[in-house]
Amino acid sequence: MKLRKVQDYFSLAGRALAFIFARPFYMQDLIQQMDEIGVKSLGIVLLTGFFTGMVLALQSSVSLARFGATMYIGSLVSASMIRELGPVLAGLMVAGRVGSGIAAQLGSMRVTEQIDALNTLGTDPIKKLVTPRVLAALIMLPVLTVINDFVGILGGNVISTVMVGIPSGLYWRTVWDQIGTDGFALRVIPTDFIQGITKPFVFGGIIAITGCYFGLNTTGGTEGVGQSTTRTVVMSSILILVVDYFLSQILLSVFAP
């Protein structure tokens, strides 16, 4: 039974991704989902990123001060945000807000037989309902992660300047050095960015597909919708954390110096 559910999950993922390149293209649905997933999640992502960067700078300054290395706070904050904290926190926040919403929407459509009506009209529910949500998540979560990274680094700058006493120019100098830039011109391949963008791309697919899977398999009326919503948030969060480890292992081996 468990293996059947896993098979159904990956079957849904495969069909949803395959439909991205098949006509008709529901552009209006895609734009609507990009707004729902990306624009409406911007507030919580900004808040999370800013205070995460502040806490990271505050805590790291205590440890670095023991070795007289507080000048490297910018390097530590930028590396932590871009490689790990930015993608994971953005993924978890979007999973809680968007994943639950997707499951609730599709679950309500399932229990009210709207999805059966689409089948009757000859419209594939996966093409119409799942693919736009998956594609929107694949596009918007990396964008949200980049914003989260920048705001987190900015929050670290506030703490390092106000509380630690590091000049803002020195802070940003160490940030540029960490991400592989010389001023504003790239001097090497920015491997931190490559690692930081790969993860949210995968996380976006996980969130959307998990929400759609539990939503489409909702049973038991309104109570079932609530259960599907809860399962989506829990499963998405677990998958993000588990996949994050394996992705980190793979990316570190690929981009090892």
Q: Which two tokens stand for residue 236?
A: 């998405």
**Amino acid 211: pLDDT:** 93
How far is 126 from 215, CA to CA, in rounded Å? Answer: 12
| 5 belongs to a structural domain | no
151 is in which domain, residue-wise?
A: 27-254
| 13 belongs to a structural domain | no
Q: Which two tokens stand for residue 132?
A: 């736009």
How far is 76 from 57, CA to CA, in rounded Å? Answer: 8
The pLDDT profile of the chain, 257 residues, written as one tens digit per residue, is 678 888 889 998 998 888 888 888 888 888 999 999 989 999 999 999 999 999 999 888 888 888 877 888 888 888 889 888 899 999 999 999 899 999 998 988 888 888 888 778 777 888 888 999 999 999 999 999 999 999 999 999 999 888 888 888 888 888 887 776 444 444 444 677 788 888 999 999 999 999 999 998 888 877 888 899 999 999 999 999 999 999 989 888 887 65
Cβ partners under 8 Å of residue 25, min gap 6: none
- Contact (Cβ atoms closer than 8 angstroms) between residue 132 and residue 30: yes
Q: Which two tokens stand for residue 135?
A: 């594609």
| 230 belongs to a structural domain | yes
Q: Which two tokens stand for residue 13?
A: 């993922």
How far is 196 from 148, CA to CA, in rounded Å? Answer: 11
Q: What kind and span of H or E run contains 186?
A: strand 185-186
Q: What is the DSSP letter of 24?
A: P
| 64 belongs to a structural domain | yes
Composition of the chain by helix, strand, coil, percent to 5: 85, 0, 15
| 34 belongs to a structural domain | yes
| 15 belongs to a structural domain | no
Q: How many domains does the chain have?
A: 1
**Cα angle 183, 165, 52; round to 5:** 75
Local structure of 182: helix, strand or coil: strand
| 190 belongs to a structural domain | yes
Residues in the chain: 257
| 55 belongs to a structural domain | yes
